[in-house]
Amino acid sequence: MGYDLNMKVWRGDATGGELVPYTVPVEEGEVVLDALHRIQATQSGDLAVRWNCKAGKCGSCSAEINGKPRLTCMTRLSTFERGETVTVTPMRTFPIIRDLVTDVSYNFKVAETIPAFAPEKRRDDGTYRMQQEDVERGQEFRKCIECFLCQDVCHVIRDHEENKQAFSGPRFFLRYAELEMHPLDTNDHRKLAQERAGIGLCNITKCCTEVCPEGIKITDNAIIPVKERVVDRSFDPVTWLGRKIFRRDQLPESQTPTLPQD
Amino acid sequence: MTDPSSIERHTFDVVVVGAGGAGLRAAIAAHDAGAKVALVCKSLLGKAHTVMAEGGIAAAMGNVWSEDNWKVHFRDTMRGGKMLNHWRMAQLHAQEAPERVHELEEWGALFDRTPDGLISQRDFGGHRYARLAHVGDRTGLELIRTLQQRAVALGISVFMECTITKLFSDGERVSGAFGYWRESGRFIVFEAPSVVLATGGIGKSYKVTSNSWEYTGDGHALALAAGADLVNMEFVQFHPTGMVWPPSVKGILVTESVRGDGGVLRNSEGRRFMFDYIPEFFKAETADTEEEADRWYNDKTNNRRPPELLPRDEVARAINAEVKAGRGTPHGGVYLDIASRHPAEYIKRRLPSMYHQFKELADVDITAEPMEVGPTCHYVMGGVAVDPDTGESDVPGLYAAGEVAGGMHGSNRLGGNSLSDLLVFGRRAGLNAAYAAARKRERASVSDDDVRAAAEHALAPFSSTGDENPYSVQHDLQEVMHSLVGIIRTAEEMQQALDKLTELRKRTARMSVEGHRQYNPGWHLALDLHNMLLVSECIARAALERTESRGGHTRDDYPATDDTWGTINLLCRLDGDSVNVRQVPLPSMPDELRALFDEK
Ligand SMILES: Cc1cc2nc3c(=O)[nH]c(=O)nc-3n(C[C@H](O)[C@H](O)[C@H](O)COP(=O)(O)OP(=O)(O)OC[C@H]3O[C@@H](n4cnc5c(N)ncnc54)[C@H](O)[C@@H]3O)c2cc1C
Ligand code: SF4
Ligand code: SF4
Ligand code: FES
């Protein structure tokens, strides 16, 4: 059973824009991205949106729906009241390119500053051995689809452009946590996490965890443990090695990695 | 704006078009071989189709079944492709896949483990042993992220949201590529002696598909325009299990891992109908009772594989037939049931993203009720004809790897064999593209006239005053391919399709787009449509020519598999504006490999 949905979609570019009202026929079971695509196909062929998988797997279609950071492909229209107007605006933390498309290059620049994975050597038979329990912590962080909704919602950068220089944001705290907890990685990332990624600026509001469409417990499982390790660092390097989980054989020399760009 | 001197220019040794698994692996290999590499993609980095792959990477590592080795994998791959695969590609693929997987681990990938700490491997259709290295059901994400992070760490230059629309040639070999930035609509020219195509597939020309907007066959069309051949274009894979309801998600993939992990197919009468569709070719290796099939999951030595795990073409045809016979579900699919076969915890752990996908998009709890599924256009076996060892096409300097390349999978691809294909042949193409660039002394150069012509072509939709909307042309094209060149084909319908494609092509000449060049999807689609139409024509012409049924090509008017066709490849080439199809003999495999098929 179809019906007419009232929408407001932000349209414009870096110089400015406005909310444009649309009335779109929609069908049962559809998501916000379907409605946007129908606007594109029948009313405004040049409406700019990003998408790829339409199944919550690629993290392309992020926007703010009635003010909440969400994936448009995973937001069912049935979650709104009939008659409610659905307002879609671009992610606020990033500069606008056009309509719902923002310039997310900040994230890709931060990614370049993350040290490369530095594994132990393989065993003589060419394999690595790790237990399922050992990999599961890292696997949680590697579920990240890089939708950047956590970056969008984080107040440290949401309204403070100037903080982007010194703050990597929750998505990349995940990367530090992942490398720190990776059973094979040999680097000590705590200095970087503090000095370069600015993890100290995070005051654990957990807004990032709330918006993560992958349900990653960013604050509890990644940020807080890394913060704890950063605090420990000045006292005792052995604690850090001990905390690098499940390292049974030789403990490799730990070192702060050289930065890709410095 | 079409003045060549005003256009951004770059010089590289190797330009890789596409940043999925194949493109990333190629770029890394070319970089490691000392080349200066550009990596270009239509979407943001990390969003290519590869990110959506679910089930796993096929590699005969023998971690779960020590009986497994490359010869068994090779044999499975050839049989799955109904022996039409290029034997040399299938051989290299089976031999090199394990090392490519280990390499990913060395670059940070965290695969699921076996009890003794090795990379775990899961069952999939057509594979004799549990062989797919995986991370839950998000293996593609792990693969692309690992390669992406590696490429970034190596400092490879990435041009994202940049679409290539033309390849240049200096008469002898490839000399570069032309494209536009999606963000600004501005043009960009690359000068390079080697270009690697890694653009993926063509599925967006079909109505029901698991593929995204990117899959418009750009690489296939670029290669044709550059003078290369496409091989096996009649073979399009319809994955047996796509979502069928609600309508907005129709076609979205339900991973084969559901069946690999024990899920079964039933019709509306509750019957496990796959037992009624076991073809002669696979009888000897397929269970014929439910009891044997169920025992197989734990004892592969003494039992044969369940028919739900036959190659995809067989399962897709069977589902199609059940629905046609009136034994389908309310929404026109069949039931895929894992709920009654495993506890909820197991399902959530093994198939987390399927659980999430059905819960969020269809209000279905797959741990408690069956899913409704039906065939969806998924993968194109056909692609650029390349040299198996180097990945080079007939056009010197032009390489192809991944889904855009042809030959590896014959008439039907086995699940899991794509991700491994990307790694094995991505690496080979990247290395060889770099070596070739190093051998070439003079710089590649691109003439101003060529640049101007490419720019004018790209801007044409803006100056047109016609009344056609690209979105409606695309919609009609999808309808034509779906209903006339779909899963079951006849000569009459394909002839009709060709006529309609001609009409659609005329309509594209009248397409106009609104707005300006900045991030304008209407304009982008107008340009992509040329590629979609060209590739669709190749599919229809090759499919019309092949008067037999085999793998991903089923003819209602020629239902049998015909041995004389078993030694023939169809090649498509562009001749002026029209597509020519010609028959060439299949490369024949050496005796020692042939002997593998006589063994049981
Ligand atoms: C839902 C789903 C699940 C799958 N699951 C599995 C699985 O479990 N196992 C398996 O083996 N296979 C699986 N497959 C198949 C496999 O994922 C794909 O075949 C494979 O990822 C293709 O990789 P690729 O590198 O060739 O291309 P892609 O990953 O598709 O990358 C293509 C790249 O080319 C770029 N591009 C295209 N055109 C242009 C242009 N004109 N200019 C610039 N750039 C361009 C795109 O932006 C993109 O970066 C699955 C496929 C789907 C859709
Ligand atoms: S918990 Fe920290 S990183 Fe997350 S949103 Fe709050 S301040 Fe930002
Ligand atoms: S951590 Fe979650 S919210 Fe942040 S980018 Fe990754 S998937 Fe998105
Ligand atoms: S389109 Fe991929 S997450 Fe929404």
Rg (C-alpha) for chain B, rounded Å, is: 23
Beta carbons within 8 Å of A245's beta carbon, 6+ residues apart:
A134, A137, A181, A183
Smallest Cα distance from B517 to chain A, Å: 9
Contact residues, chain A, for B253 at CB < 8 Å: 55
Say which CATH topology domain A3-102 has.
Ubiquitin-like (UB roll) (3.10.20)
In the reported structure, the alpha carbon of residue A211 is separated from the centroid of ligand 3 by a whole-number distance in angstroms of 8
Buried b / exposed e along B414-451 (16+ C-beta atoms within 10 A) = bbbbbbbbbbbbbbbbbbbbbbbbeeeeeebebeeebb
- The model carries a pTM of 0.94
* Residue B214 main-chain phi, psi, to 5 deg: -70, -20
- Residues 41-70, chain B, touching A (beta carbon < 8 A): 43-49, 51-52
CB B481 within 8 A of CB B498: no
- Report which residue type is found at A227: K
Contact B470 A119 (CB under 8 A): no
pLDDT reading at A190 higher than 90: no
Kindly state the average pLDDT of the residues B75-86: 96
Q: Which chain B residues contact residue A27 at CB under 8 A?
A: 246-248
Q: How sure is the predictor about B3, in pLDDT bands with cuts at 50, 70 and 90?
A: confident
pLDDT of residue B118: 97
Say whether residue B470 is in contact with chain A using an 8 A CB cutoff.
Answer: yes
Residue B580 β-bridge partners: B573
Nearest-atom number in ligand 2 for the CA of A206 is 1
Confidence (pLDDT) at B98: 98
**Residue B139 near chain A (CB below 8 Å):** no
The helix, strand and coil proportions of chain A, stated in percent and rounded to the nearest 5, come to 40, 15, 45
Question: Residues spanned by CATH 1.10.1060.10 within chain A?
Answer: 105-246
The pLDDT confidence band at residue A257, using thresholds 50, 70 and 90, is: low
Residue whose pair of structure tokens reads 């600004």 in the numeric block: B184
Ligand 2 center–CA A153 separation, angstroms: 8
The model's confidence at residue A247, banded by pLDDT at 50, 70 and 90, is: very low
Q: How far is CA A187 from CA A218, A255, B109, in A?
A: 21, 5, 16
Whether chain A has a CB inside 8 Å of the CB on B348: the answer is no
pLDDT of residue B1: 66
Contact A104 B523 (CB under 8 A): no
Interface of B with A in 518-577 (CB under 8 A): 518-523
Confidence of residue A231 (pLDDT cuts 50, 70, 90): confident
DSSP state letters, B445-503 = ---HHHHHHHHHHHHHHHH---SB-HHHHHHHHHHHHHHHSSSSB-HHHHHHHHHHHHH
Is A145's C-beta closer than 6 angstroms to any atom of ligand 3?
yes
DSSP H or E segment with residue A42: helix A32-42
Res. A249 pLDDT band, cuts 50 70 90? very low
How many angstroms is it from B20 CA to the middle of ligand 1?
6
Instruction: Give the containing element (helix H, strand E) for A171.
Output: helix A170-181
**Pocket flag, ligand 1, residue B312 (CB < 6 Å):** no
* pLDDT recorded at residue B443: 81
Dist CA A27 CA A6 (whole Å)? 13
C-beta of residue B21 within 8 angstroms of C-beta of residue B402: yes
Q: How far is A73 from chain B (nearest CA, A)?
A: 9
Q: How confident is the model at residue B442 (pLDDT cuts 50, 70, 90)?
A: confident
Is the backbone peptide bond immediately before B375 cis, with ω within 30 degrees of 0?
A: no
Task: Write the pLDDT tens digit of every residue in B120-129.
Answer: 999 998 999 9
φ, ψ of residue B531 in degrees (nearest 5):
-65, -45
Give CA separation, B217 vs A134, B185, B380, in Å.
41, 21, 10
Which pairs with CB-CB distance under 8 Å and at least 24 residues apart come from A216-221?
A216/A140, A216/A141, A216/A143, A216/A144, A216/A174, A217/A140, A218/A150, A218/A170, A218/A173, A218/A174, A219/A170, A221/A137, A221/A140, A221/A141, A221/A177
- pLDDT computed for residue B353 by the predictor: 87
CA-nearest of A171, A165, A223 to A195 is A165
Q: Tell me, yes or no, if B259 is annotated catalytic.
A: yes
Amino acid identity, residue B389?
A: D
**Cβ contact B138–A130 (<8 Å):** no
Residue B427: its pLDDT value, please?
A: 98
Task: List CB contacts of B581: < 8 A, sequence separation 6 or more.
Answer: B538, B541, B542, B545, B570, B571, B572
Chain A: give the shortest CA distance to residue B292, in Å.
30
Cβ of B102 within 8 Å of Cβ of A40? The answer is no
Q: Which of B449, B390, B432, B533 is nearest to B168 (CA)?
A: B449
Chain A interface includes B515 (CB < 8 A) = yes
Q: How many helices (H) and strands (E) does chain B have?
A: 17, 20
Chain B partners of A2 at a C-beta cutoff of 8 Å?
none
Pairing of strands B132-133, B236-243: unpaired
CB of B376 within 8 Å of any CB in chain A? Answer: no
Radius of gyration of chain A (CA): 21
pLDDT at A233: 62
**Whole-number pLDDT of residue A196:** 83
pLDDT digits (tens, 9 = 90+) for A47-67: 999 999 999 999 999 999 999
pLDDT value, residue B600: 54
Q: Pick from B143, B207, B519 the residue to mutate for testing the A interface (most A CBs within 10 Å).
A: B519
Cα(B175)–Cα(B168) distance, integer angstroms: 5
Q: How far apart are CA B189 and CA B180, in angstroms?
A: 9
Query: Closest Cα to atom 2, ligand 2: which residue?
Result: A202
How far, in whole angstroms, is CA B331 from its chain's centroid?
Answer: 27
Which among A30, A51, A129 has CB closest to B248? A30
**Going by C-beta distance under 8 Å and a sequence separation of 6 or more, which residues neighbour residue B345?**
none
Token pair 């483990």 in the structure block, residue: B113
Q: How many CA atoms lie within 13 A of A115 on its CB side?
A: 24
Specify which residues B209 forms β-bridges with.
B377
Q: Does domain A105-246 have CATH number 3.40.50.300?
A: no
Give the ligand 1 atom nearest the CA of B401: 26
**Contact assignment for B360 to A52 by CB distance below 8 Å:** no
pLDDT digits (tens, 9 = 90+) for B466-520: 889 999 999 999 999 999 999 999 999 999 999 999 999 999 999 999 889 999 9
Residue B409: DSSP 8-state: T
State in Å: Cα B47 to ligand 1 middle: 9
d(CA A136, CA A131): 9
Instruction: Please state, in angstroms and rounded to a whole number, the distance separating the CA atoms of residues B279 and B284.
Output: 10
Residue A109 has pLDDT above 90, yes or no: yes
Asked if B491 reaches chain A (Cβ–Cβ under 8 Å), the answer is: no
Please indicate if any CB of chain A lies within 8 Å of the CB of B355. Answer: no
Expressed in angstroms and rounded, the spacing between residue A203 Cα and the centre of ligand 3 is: 18
**What's the full length of chain B, in residues?**
600
Q: Where in chain A is the domain with CATH 3.10.20.30?
A: 3-102
- Ligand nearest B181 Cα, by number? 1
Ligand with an atom nearest the CA of residue A54: 4
Helix pair B491-509, B521-545: axis angle to 10 deg: 150
User: Could you write out the three-class secondary structure of A58-78?
Assistant: CCCCEEEECCEEEEHHHCEHH
Give the Cα separation of B335 and B185 in Å (integer). 46
Contact in structure between B47 and A60 (CB atoms under 8 Å): yes
Q: Which residues contact A193 (CB under 8 A, 6 or more apart)?
A: A173, A176, A180, A199, A226, A229, A230
**B207 and chain A in contact, CB less than 8 A:** no
Searching chain B, which residue's CA lies closest to the CA of residue A61?
B47
- Which residues have a Cβ under 8 Å from the Cβ of B292 and sit 6 or more positions away? B303, B304
CA neighbor of B127 nearest in space, from B14, B341, B285: B285
What pLDDT was estimated at residue A15? 96
| Distance between CA atoms of residues A85 and B164, nearest Å | 39
Contact A58 B52 (CB under 8 A): yes
Q: Which residues line ligand 4 (CB under 6 A)?
A: A 51-54, 56-61, 71, 73
pLDDT of residue A134: 92
- Please provide the DSSP assignment of B361-396 as one string: HH---TTTSPEEEEEEEEEE--EE---TTT-B-SST
Among A30, A34, A53, the mutation site with the greatest number of ligand 4 atoms within 8 A of its Cβ is A53
**Hey, is B67 helix, strand or coil?**
coil
Residue type, B490: T
Q: What is the model's pLDDT at position A253?
A: 46
Q: Are A241 and A254 in contact (CB under 8 A)?
A: yes
Is residue B138 annotated as part of the catalytic site, yes or no? no
Asked if the model's pLDDT at residue B37 lies above 50, the reply is yes
Whether B138 and A57 lie within 8 Å, measured CB to CB: yes
Tokens of A238: 């052995």
Instruction: For residue range B214-243, list pLDDT tens digits in order.
Output: 999 999 999 999 999 999 999 999 999 999
